[in-house]
Structure 1
Amino acid sequence: MENKQHFKLAVIPGDGIGEEVIQEGLRVVDHLSKTSNKFTFESDYFPWGCEYYLEHGKMMDEDGLERIKNHDAIYFGAVGYPTVPDHISLWGLRLAICQGFDQWANIRPVEFLPGVEGKLNHPHKEKLNWVLVRENTEGEYSGIGGRNFAGRGPGKEVAVQSSVFTEEGCERVIRHAFDLAMKRDRKKVTSVTKSNAQQYGMVLWDEVFKRVSRDYPEVETDQWLVDAMAARFVLHPEELEVVVASNLHADILSDLGSALAGSLGIAPSANIHLDGRFPSMFESVHGSAPDIAGQGIANPIGTIGSAALMLEHLGLKQEADLINEAIRATTKDGILTADIGGTSSTREVTDAIISHISSKYANV
């Protein structure tokens, strides 16, 4: 028997439904590890999030990055709570990890799952499948700026928020998008900017895109302004394969894509660091949904799909494919949570996914 790989996961459930969906994702990974001859794993839990902030005045330990930097991957639930401002929860935890570990590519697949009623009127919805590649560490989320002149009196304060685009940052994420396109049946990359209005950073992006595209003559390309691209998501989604965009634009477009597919609850994502210095982080796109926390009705599909992305990143593509096939089989059977028109509980959906994995695993 071949030696099993052993992986150490840093698990950050976070807030709201984060704890619930993370546990379901880990159940799926645990099932695969017990039935596979390829890997084992262990989980280290970190209680960071808004409750931690309310108790300690910070979203994570001061040495938090140091404590998790040697893990093989980070599995993240959700962050956010009504009594903690969103900019504090985001910058104090998720962005602190993404930027601190230079997780410069955020991968967000969009898939129209069978049995899920999408919000898009398209004759071939079952064939729609594209991926957003989001620049993840600079751009509009660079965090550079400030607030000034409040001392001049009411209504006189000025806020400046700057975007930062480096040629190196643009090139690495654009090149990664082309590398992903080379693995797809249709090799196409679409670049999205707003370079008519943002004439410095996004013109630089456009120039880098054109230069990098010359290294991939097999790949079809096009370029769109973000407002026209939003319309294209709705009107011509069949034209989409790999879409690469800046931090803000891809964030918005990926939520649009997931909503068109039926729910943010089904959308996985990966925050990738590729040169091996730091771990990558895997999380669903949805928020912490404190209004339904503890009711057992949260959709676990996005988080389980993120586990598939995690396993693929760790070199376990067959296991990742099994998870994705099991998700499709489960939704096709009509086993759905309330957000996508069903009546199944969080646990029932996961049980069905595990059952489908079990029925297929003998073929791996």
Structure 2
Amino acid sequence: MTAAQQFRIAAIPADGVGTEVVAAGRAVLDAIQASSGGRIAFDWEELPWGSAYYAEHGVLMPDDGLDVLRGKDAIYFGAVGWPTVPDHVSLWGLRLKICQGFDQWANIRPVTFLPGITSPLRKADDTDLDWVVVRENSEGEYAGFGGRNFGARGEKGEVAVQSSVFTEVGCERIIRFAFDLARTRARKKVSSVTKSNAQQYGMVLWDDMFRRVAADYPDVETESVLVDAMSAKFVLHPEDLSVVVASNLNADILSDLGSALAGSLGLAASANLNPDRRYPSMFEPVHGSAPDIAGQGVCNPIGAIGSAALMLDHLGLPDEAKRVQAAIEATTAQGVRTRDVGGTADTETVTRAIIANLG
């Protein structure tokens, strides 16, 4: 039977536990396909890029890598990073090369409190907490502008310059994205995060753009909070959060804090979106390659499977996305958990339970 909808997806497991969690996510998506009655089909191409590829070829991905990915409907990514390759080489050579090459300017990181998972926040015991961090993903502190020089001066003579880049276009589009997202949520509120008291140029531009865009959304609550104060708010008043929008660095840090408050970075899903859909978007767990547990079969697959749910939604399959998220919640509620969240189940057991709970 010919599928009514066929999606071409590039899988890049890359390094460490990335191979394990991508396999888990693919198993869940294959179960979605099998239960669709031929309505949905995923056409996978797995690419061997990452640190092992670097050891053999001297690059993390081939020169024509973006061309290989360009025709895909989505990219499903594991994690990059291994002790044999400097972190800045692995990050810029693969993940950021894809993000910047495809202008994936909106990074979405939901903070989801799952049943059966103990949070270090006491408020999580009796308060519904659910917010999403919207991260500017193309410029800011991770623009890659700068360099190192004067190395020939001798000891302590070298100088490094790392410049943040903020543009009106970049600020406006991510802030507007956050407001549009807020309109879809029960609590229509956007919290903008900067450090504009100390960074008086780029982040003041961000603040200016936030005020301009907010004027177009009178139905949405707003607040502007310095990043240090927002870090405290994540812990002390998380019930007041809905959509948090911030620059590349600030949102990166805050989203990890949010994931830890939800119970584990292993639970955290993310999407690197090209909202204009000129290029494929990329979906990945937040947790990284975790070399210390790689190959042991004990890593938490929920972040990757949650990322697959985000991918389904992006592909126009919202009902299937909801099925996956509901299956994750049913699984944690049943007490089937990996050891990072207080359980004893291995990766395969959690994955099988999620598939069984797809309904």
TM bracket (short chain): over 0.9
Unmatched 5+ stretches in structure 1: 360-364
1:9 aligns to what? 9
Once the two structures are overlaid, the 10-residue window that deviates more, 142-151 or 246-255, is: 142-151
Unmatched 5+ stretches in structure 2: none
Identity of aligned residues (%): 65
Q: Relative to 1, partners in 2 of residues 1:24 and 1:126: Cα closer, same or farther, differing over 3 Å?
A: farther
Task: For residue 119 of structure 1, report the CA deviation from its aligned partner.
Answer: 1.5
Q: Relative to 1, partners in 2 of residues 1:341 and 1:291: Cα closer, same or farther, differing over 3 Å?
A: same
User: How far apart, in 1, do the equivalents of 2:319 and 2:306 lie?
Assistant: 14
Q: Does 1:268 align with 2:265?
A: no
User: How far apart, in 1, do the equivalents of 2:124 and 2:321 lie?
Assistant: 29
1:289 aligns to what? 290
Q: Secondary structure at the match of 2:335?
A: coil
1:257 aligns to what? 258
User: How far apart, in 2, do the equivalents of 1:123 and 1:265 lie?
Assistant: 18
Task: For residue 222 of structure 1, report the CA deviation from its aligned partner.
Answer: 0.3
The residue identity in structure 2 corresponding to 1:25 is G
- Counterparts of 1:143-292 in structure 2, within 5 Å, are 143-292=144-293
User: How far apart, in 2, do the equivalents of 1:181 and 1:172 lie?
Assistant: 14
The normalised TM-score by structure 2 is 0.98
Is the 2:111–2:258 contact (alpha carbons within 8 Å) kept by the matching residues of 1?
A: yes
Task: For residue 151 of structure 1, report the CA deviation from its aligned partner.
Answer: 1.1
The normalised TM-score by structure 1 is 0.97
Q: Relative to 1, partners in 2 of residues 1:263 and 1:122: Cα closer, same or farther, differing over 3 Å?
A: same
Moved over 4 A (4+): 123-126
2:118 aligns to what? 117
CA RMSD in angstroms comes to 1.2
Once the two structures are overlaid, the 10-residue window that deviates more, 37-46 or 109-118, is: 37-46
Q: Relative to 1, partners in 2 of residues 1:123 and 1:275: Cα closer, same or farther, differing over 3 Å?
A: closer
Q: Relative to 1, partners in 2 of residues 1:193 and 1:126: Cα closer, same or farther, differing over 3 Å?
A: same
Q: Give per-residue Cα distances to partners, 1:131-173, cap 9 Å, x unaligned.
A: 0000001000000001111111101111100000010000000
1:77 aligns to what? 78
- Counterparts of 1:28-177 in structure 2, within 5 Å, are 28-37=28-37, 38-122=39-123, 124=125, 127-177=128-178
1:362 aligns to what? none
User: How far apart, in 2, do the equivalents of 1:60 and 1:71 lie?
Assistant: 16
User: How far apart, in 1, do the equivalents of 2:124 and 2:138 lie?
Assistant: 37
Task: For residue 2 of structure 1, report the CA deviation from its aligned partner.
Answer: 10
User: How far apart, in 2, do the equivalents of 1:115 and 1:4 lie?
Assistant: 37
Q: Relative to 1, partners in 2 of residues 1:123 and 1:116: Cα closer, same or farther, differing over 3 Å?
A: closer
User: How far apart, in 1, do the equivalents of 2:124 and 2:257 lie?
Assistant: 19
The residue identity in structure 1 corresponding to 2:301 is P
Q: Does 1:23 align with 2:20?
A: no
- Counterparts of 1:275-354 in structure 2, within 5 Å, are 275-354=276-355
User: How far apart, in 2, do the equivalents of 1:124 and 1:18 lie?
Assistant: 31
Is the 2:106–2:137 contact (alpha carbons within 8 Å) kept by the matching residues of 1?
A: yes
User: How far apart, in 2, do the equivalents of 1:70 and 1:277 lie?
Assistant: 10
Is the 1:114–1:126 contact (alpha carbons within 8 Å) kept by the matching residues of 2?
A: no
User: How far apart, in 1, do the equivalents of 2:124 and 2:294 lie?
Assistant: 36
Is the 2:3–2:41 contact (alpha carbons within 8 Å) kept by the matching residues of 1?
A: no
Q: Relative to 1, partners in 2 of residues 1:126 and 1:83: Cα closer, same or farther, differing over 3 Å?
A: farther
User: How far apart, in 2, do the equivalents of 1:242 and 1:328 lie?
Assistant: 22
Once the two structures are overlaid, the 10-residue window that deviates more, 246-255 or 111-120, is: 111-120
Is the 1:147–1:160 contact (alpha carbons within 8 Å) kept by the matching residues of 2?
A: yes
Q: Relative to 1, partners in 2 of residues 1:90 and 1:180: Cα closer, same or farther, differing over 3 Å?
A: same
Task: For residue 276 of structure 1, report the CA deviation from its aligned partner.
Answer: 2.1
Q: Secondary structure at the match of 2:279?
A: coil
User: How far apart, in 2, do the equivalents of 1:288 and 1:92 lie?
Assistant: 15
Is the 2:265–2:286 contact (alpha carbons within 8 Å) kept by the matching residues of 1?
A: yes
Task: For residue 123 of structure 1, report the CA deviation from its aligned partner.
Answer: 5.4
Q: Secondary structure at the match of 1:227?
A: helix
Task: For residue 46 of structure 1, report the CA deviation from its aligned partner.
Answer: 0.7
User: How far apart, in 1, do the equivalents of 2:287 and 2:268 lie?
Assistant: 7
Question: Aligned residue pairs: how many?
Answer: 358
